[in-house]
Structures are given as structure tokens and as C-alpha cells.
Structure 1
């Protein structure tokens, strides 16, 4: 696979940015990606969704007074808004000129997990998502403090039930196990005392706040230090621990390049991460620039998002309805805003089970034919696009090429490696007497494309 294509997929979701990387060079491309702006505007689909505790309480009162059918209808509407938010985010991912910010937002989304299914307030989930986007390239310690003080997180990890006289350890435990240090780098006493420090951190109007009647003000011992520590002081203490950089550098390497990163790299980049005071921007620049020079193709299984985005880009399916993409991601186990648990999507081999691989091949068949893939809910061709027009697909190829040059070009764009058997298979599909001027030439190349994207090799970058 062409190196620029490979890194376009890794730093985004398809090979769409490959020409930019080739033209600008990786360093300038990264600079432009980090400078990319985003809109702080609240999307229109959230206008009727509760945005404050007062609005939320009013809605709950309305639900209590409503009939069963009315209650179901209101809850259904909020589910529809959640689905609109998935489509909104997918559209951002595929439309950005420099998609690395969205790729990092998705990384943080799977690190600081908070799901709509548990939180059940769309605006809080949106706030959480925007916070991750705004701080995508910022400081890890600062972001950790901010995330812990979102309404979404205190609701998701049950800190609303963590009170002075009734301690709940969920948020305290995941702060250490999944967000910062990793298993084996803290004690059960740290979890228990951390929960006391987080007691009373509860829902607020714009963000989580401590409630005086619920908080615990007794001194605690946290990682060997004694005092009356609250959330920000606790995070400061955590980030003094030796193990803190390595959990994140391992996850970043896994997200972008290696399903199983070498421990030497985890340590090497982790040490640098500590040196730059947990600033994400220089860490990413160092990782990407240094790993770009290596031959790392074939080290990672594509997640469902990258799979479908690359397929759409290569098929020029720019009008495809993002809601259908959201549905496909859910089928593949990568439901946005609804990870299976606080650990998030595990990735790696879990993205290539026999069922997921079969689904991907079925989607490739149907999408190449401009049809939908859902068996339970039959979408019409018109529902494949947002404007109601039938989906049309085409593969870009050299109309002046012969069968071998066309096969070579597609192979270079799509696959990180091939062998003699695959070459013979491609030449069986696109024969030596292929006529690029023939009426069915586009269809013949589409058949070749479809065969290539159904190989195991296409599932790997």
C-alpha cells in the first residue's frame, strides 16, 4: 500500500487525505490538522432536548403526569435525537479536510467512556463529546480533571450515588484502572480513599459540582499523601505516579498504528510524554513522524469506522446517508456513544470475528451494487442517501490503462500486500483483453474492486 494512503487512513478514516500528505509532507499536514477549527454551536437537533437541571426536572415531571403512550413517545424522541447525534458526528468525520481532530475525539471517546444508554441526557453526552474535541490535542492531566467534572461522567460512573454516608467507588476505581494508571499501579485503599474525596461530586447546571451536604471533608491518605483532597488535587497526585504516561501511550499506539505495540515503544514514548508534561500534541507529532519512516503496514486490523469510510471514499459514495453508516457501526459492535462497557471497544482481533467479516463482505457486495444491507429493516435505494436519490457508486481508475496497470493501481490503493495467487485471481476478473473503452468497463473494474475489498488483506492496515 502507498505510504501516503496508509497514513491518510491512520490519521483519518480513508485515503481521502493522501494527496494532501504527499503535497504538504507529514509534518505540515500534522500542523494543519492540529490548527483545524471546529464549531462550538449546539446542533439544531438538540434544541428541544433538556440542557439544564431545571429543564430536566421539568421534563421528568411532565413524564410522571403523562400517559404510558405519551411517555413512550417522549423517550422515543430522545432516542431519535441520540441517533441524529451519531449521524452528525459521522458527517463531521467524513467531511473534514483535516480529520485528525475527529480521529482523536473518537480516541478520547473510547478512553473516557460515557454512554447515552446510561446517561440518558443527550445534551450532556454532546457536552462531553465537545469537551473531547476541544481538548483533542491538549494536556492529558487537564482533560482528565475536566472530564471528571462533567455531568455525563458523574452520571455514567454512578458518582451521583457517592455520598458521605454511602460511598460508591465506581468513579474512583475507573479513574485509576482505566483512565490513568492501569491495573497493578494502585491499591484498594487508594480506591476507597479516592471515593471519599469524590463523594458529593454531583450533577450541576453546566458541569458537576460538589454538594456540601453530600461531600466528605475528612482527611484521606491518597498514594501516601495526607490531606483533604478533592477531584483536582487527586488528579495532581495521580499524575505524580511513575506509571501514569504508559497506559495512554499504549492506547494511542493501538488506536493509530499497532494492535500489539512493542513494550519498548510504549516505554520510549511514555517517557517522552512525561518529559513534555503530558501534552498530547508533541507526543502525537513524535509518534507519527518517527513511525512514518518505518515499514509498519499490516500491523493493525481496521475498525468498522475506517472500513466503511474507506469503502465509501473509494466508491465515491459521498451522498450516502450517515444514519445508515451509524446503523452499520452498531451492527459491527462499534456503536457511537454506546460502548458495551466502561472499557470501551477492545479492537484488535475483535474487529475481525467470522460474523463481522461476513457482514463486511455482504456490505461490500450490496454497496457496490448501490443497495442496502439490513435484513430486518429493508431500506429502499432512496434511503441510501439523504436527498432521496438512489445511491450511485463508481471507482476511479485510469481509462487509458490496461488490465495489469489497473490491477496494480487498485492494489496499491487498497492492500498492504499481495501474492501470486491474488494476482492470478485479479487477472481472472480483469482479463488480458480488457477493453477500457467498452460499455461495461466500469462494471468490470467495480467487480475487481469488490473482490479486493472482500479479502482478508483489505481488513488490515
Structure 2
């Protein structure tokens, strides 16, 4: 696989940025990626979603007064809005000229998990997503403070139920275990005491706020320091701990390059992250520029987003149906805004179980035959997508019509596969035989058959 193609896939979702990386050089490509702006406008599909605390209270009153059928209708409407938001985000990932901000937003989305299924208010989930997008390349400590004080997070991890004399430890635990330090770098007493510092932090107008009536004002010891700490002070104390950089550094390496990063790499980049005062941009620059020079293709299994958006890009499918892609991602175990638990998607081998691989092969067959990635057979799903999934797609595979069979095989291999052995090469040449002639009827179909065969190999699942 061409190194620029490889890094186009790693820093985005397709190979279409490979020429830009080659032309600009990786460092300049990263600079332009970091400089991207994002739209802070609230999307139209959130128009009816409650946004203020008072609007949320009114919705709750409506639910209490409604009949079971009416409640079902209200919930269905919010579910439809949630799918609109999935499609909106998939479009952003697919259309951005420099998609690294969206890929990093997705990384943080799976780090600071907060699901629609639990939060149930689309606007709060959107706010959570926007905080991640705005701070994707910023400061890890700052991002942690902001995201813990989002309405979505205090709702998702039950801090709305955390109050003096009736503590709920969920947010306190995950703040240490999953968001910052990792298991083994704190005590159970730190979790209990942290819950005291978080007591009373609940839903506010734009973000979470403390409610004095529910706060715990007693002094406590937290990671070796004593005082009456609130969330910002608690995060400051967490970021003084010696092992703070390594959990997130390991996860960044895992998300972009290695399913199993070596511990010496985790420590090397983690030490640099600490030296940079937890600024994310210089960390990413160092990781990507240094790993770019290494022979590390095939070290990571593509997640369903990378798999599906790469296929659609290669087939030049314009304006793909984001809702059908969202259904496919859900089938693959990567349901946006709805991870299975607070730990997020496992990644790695979970992306290539026998069932997932079969689904990917079916999706490749559908797309290569000009059909949508998901059949969405259920009536409910068809109504959500507002499109007949059986509609024929316009597909076009780019290849050099002046080339012979070996040249076309080499061209596709360079774009799609990190490696192919001699036996695989022979299989390719059985599909596109030595007497292949691009001027004959059916030549397009022959190359498409070769493409379809390649994207169903285990090697295509790797980057």
C-alpha cells in the first residue's frame, strides 16, 4: 500500500487525501487539519428538541400527562431526530477536506462516552459532541473539565442522583478509571471522596451546575490532598498524578495506528504529552510524523466507519445515504451516540468477528452492484431513511484503462491492500486475465469483480 494512501486512511476515512499528503507533506497536511474551522450552528433537525432546562421540564410534564400511545409517539420522534444526527455527523466525516478533526471528535466520543439511549435529550448529546469537536486538538485537562460539566455527562453517569447523604459514585469512578488515570492509579476511597466533591452537580441551562442544597461541604482527602474540592479542583489534582498521560496516549495510538501499541511507545509519547502540558496538537504531530516513517501498515483493523466510507469513496458514490450507513454501523457494533457501555467500543478484534466479516462482504457485494450498503428491510427503518434502500446507486471505479491486467492489479493493490502474497496475486490474475482488453464490452465489470474480490479479503480489513 502506498504510504500516502495509508495515512490518508489513518487521518481520515478514505484514500482521497493521499495526493494532498504527497503534495503538501504530512506536516503541512496536519497543520491544515489543525486549522480547520467548525460550524457552531444548531442543525435544523434539533429545532423541536428541548434546549433549556425549562423546555426539558415542560417535555417531562408532557410525558407524565400523555397516554402510553402518545408517549410512544414522542419517543419515536426523538429516536428519528437521533438518526438525523447520526446522518449529519457521517456527512461531516465524509465531506470534510481535512477530516482529522472529525476523526479526533469520534475518538473523544468513544473516550468520554455519553449515549442518547441514556441521556434521551438530543440537544444535550449534540452539545457534548460539539464540546469534543471544539476541543479536539486543544488541552486534555481543559477538555476533561468541560465534558464532565456537560448536561449529557451528568445525566449519563447518574450524577443528577448524586447528593449529600445519598452519594452516587458513577461519575467519580469513571472520571478516574476510564477518562484520566486508569485502573490501579487511585483507591476506592478516592472514588467515594470524589463523589462528595461531585455531589450536587446536575443539569443546568447550558452546562451542569452545582445545586447548593445537594452539595457536600465537608472536607475530604482526594489523591493525597485534603480540602473541600469541586470538579475543577479535582481535575487539577488528577492531572498532578504521575501516570496521568499514559491512558489517553495508549488510546490515541490504538485509535489511529496500532491495535496493540507497545508499552515503550505509550511511555515515550506519554512523557512527551506531559512535557507539552497535555496539549493534544503537539502530541498528535509528534506521533503522526514519527510513525509515518515506520513500516507499520497492517497494524490495525479498520473500524466500520473506515471500512464503509472508504468503499463509498472508491466507488465515487455521491451523497451517500447517511441513515443507511448508520444502520450498517449499528449492525457492525459501532452505533454512533450509542456505545454498548461506558467503556465504549472495544475495537481491535471485535471489528472482525465472523459475523462482522460476513456483513462487510455482503455490504461490498451490494455496493459493487450499485445497491445501498444496508437493505433496511424493516418498515420502520424505511420510514426513517425516507429512501427506498433498493434504489440503484450510480457507481464508478477509477482505473487506468490503458493498463494491462498486471498494471491494473498493481494499481488497485496500491490503493486497497497493505500486502498481497504470490497466491493472492495469482487469484487476482485469474479474475483479470492476461488477455484483458479495456476496449471490449464487459471490461468495466471485470475490473469491478476484481475490486469486489480485493475488498472482501482479510488484508483489506487492515490499515
Shift in CA distance, 356/87, structure 1 to aligned 2, threshold 3 Å: same
Q: Which residue of 1 aligns with 2:455?
A: 453
Shift in CA distance, 158/255, structure 1 to aligned 2, threshold 3 Å: same
SS of equivalent residue, structure 1 residue 244? coil
Following TM superposition, by how much is the alpha carbon of 1:367 offset from its aligned partner in structure 2, in angstroms? 1.1
Q: Which residue of 2 aligns with 1:266?
A: 266
Shift in CA distance, 392/376, structure 1 to aligned 2, threshold 3 Å: same
1:353-380 deviation line (CA, Å, top 9, x unaligned): 0000000001101111112443743889
Following TM superposition, by how much is the alpha carbon of 1:66 offset from its aligned partner in structure 2, in angstroms? 2.1
Distance 2:198 2:75 in 1: 31
Following TM superposition, by how much is the alpha carbon of 1:231 offset from its aligned partner in structure 2, in angstroms? 0.2
Following TM superposition, by how much is the alpha carbon of 1:385 offset from its aligned partner in structure 2, in angstroms? 6.9
Q: Which residue of 2 aligns with 1:116?
A: 116
Conserved? CA contact 1:320–1:385, under 8 Å: no
Conserved? CA contact 2:14–2:313, under 8 Å: yes
Q: Which residue of 1 aligns with 2:405?
A: 403
Shift in CA distance, 384/436, structure 1 to aligned 2, threshold 3 Å: farther
Count of residue pairs brought into register by the alignment: 459
Distance 1:66 1:192 in 2: 39
Q: Which residue of 1 aligns with 2:393?
A: 391
Q: Which residue of 1 aligns with 2:430?
A: 428
1:201-230 deviation line (CA, Å, top 9, x unaligned): 011011000000000010010111111100
Following TM superposition, by how much is the alpha carbon of 1:317 offset from its aligned partner in structure 2, in angstroms? 1.1
TM-score of the two chains, using structure 2 as the length reference: 0.97
Q: Which residue of 2 aligns with 1:167?
A: 167
Q: Which residue of 2 aligns with 1:374?
A: 375
Following TM superposition, by how much is the alpha carbon of 1:439 offset from its aligned partner in structure 2, in angstroms? 2.1
Can you give the 5+ residue segments of structure 2 that lack an aligned partner in the other structure? none
Q: Which residue of 1 aligns with 2:343?
A: 343
Moved over 6 A (4+): 383-389
Q: Which residue of 2 aligns with 1:317?
A: 317
Distance 1:286 1:226 in 2: 37
Q: Which residue of 2 aligns with 1:301?
A: 301
Where do residues 328-339 of structure 1 align in structure 2 (5 Å cutoff)? 328-339=328-339
1:36-59 deviation line (CA, Å, top 9, x unaligned): 011000000000110011001111
TM-score of the two chains, using structure 1 as the length reference: 0.97
Can you give the 5+ residue segments of structure 1 that lack an aligned partner in the other structure? none
Distance 1:406 1:107 in 2: 35
- CA RMSD, Structure 1 to Structure 2 (Å): 1.5
Following TM superposition, by how much is the alpha carbon of 1:392 offset from its aligned partner in structure 2, in angstroms? 1.5
1:319-360 deviation line (CA, Å, top 9, x unaligned): 321111001000000000000000000100000000000000
Q: Which residue of 1 aligns with 2:444?
A: 442
Conserved? CA contact 1:20–1:29, under 8 Å: yes
Following TM superposition, by how much is the alpha carbon of 1:440 offset from its aligned partner in structure 2, in angstroms? 1.2
Following TM superposition, by how much is the alpha carbon of 1:165 offset from its aligned partner in structure 2, in angstroms? 1.2
Conserved? CA contact 2:371–2:390, under 8 Å: no
